[in-house]
Amino acid sequence: MMIRWAILLSIATGACSATTSPAPMGQTQASAIHANNPYYSRTDTAHLAVGDAEWKRILPGDVYQVARHAATERAFTGEYWDFEGVGTYYCAVCGNALFRSDAKFASSCGWPSFYQALRPNSVRYREDRSHGMVRTEVLCGRCDSHLGHIFDDGPPPTGKRFCMNSIVLDFVPGT
Ligand code: FE
């Protein structure tokens, strides 16, 4: 019984600390998390055409729902919405480099926000008419995973706000 309570306590503590002080994902952690994902690569930029059933088999359930079915994580709950680490954000599904931390800005929206992508083809765009709105969806340029949406209320120099879901981002510290 004592062991069971200790495990529960450690899980609860971990859950709380994950929302208040995120641990940046280094190469070792990322490698462990993506061990079952043969498509994950931070160097291969070739476009991926992987079926839904395969992604469902490979990805953690919460990542799968956002990445492949455009679910949205609740505002102010993701790992990176108020995170200020210096480094690079990669697609958590395929490893594609998406954003540099120097393009991230403090936004009150509750999701990590960037004013530009790392490369023009890091992402691609698609019109999204769901939920009675007309928005522009942002997809990973390599694996087509849903990342979030882009809006025209961002800061200079672009005026854009890439409003992303933390769960589909891997942060790797470095300059
Ligand atoms: Fe991707």
pLDDT tens across 27-44, in order?
556 666 788 999 999 999
Q: Is 83 helix (H, G, I), strand (E, B) or coil?
A: coil
Residues labelled as active-site residues: 163
**pLDDT 10s digits, 43-87:** 999 999 999 999 999 999 999 999 999 999 999 999 999 999 999
CA of 48 to the centre of ligand 1 (A): 8
Q: How many A from CA of 107 to the centre of ligand 1?
A: 24
- Its domain, for residue 39, covers 24-173
Residue 72 sits in a domain whose CATH number is 2.170.150.20
Domain assignment present for 167 = yes
pTM over 0.85: no
Number of other residues whose CB lies within 10 A of the CB of residue 83: 17
How many domains, the chain?
1
| Whole-number Å distance between alpha carbons of 165 and 11 | 23
Residue 82 CA to ligand 1 center (angstroms) comes to 22
User: In the numeric block, which tokens belong to residue 15?
Assistant: 């859950």
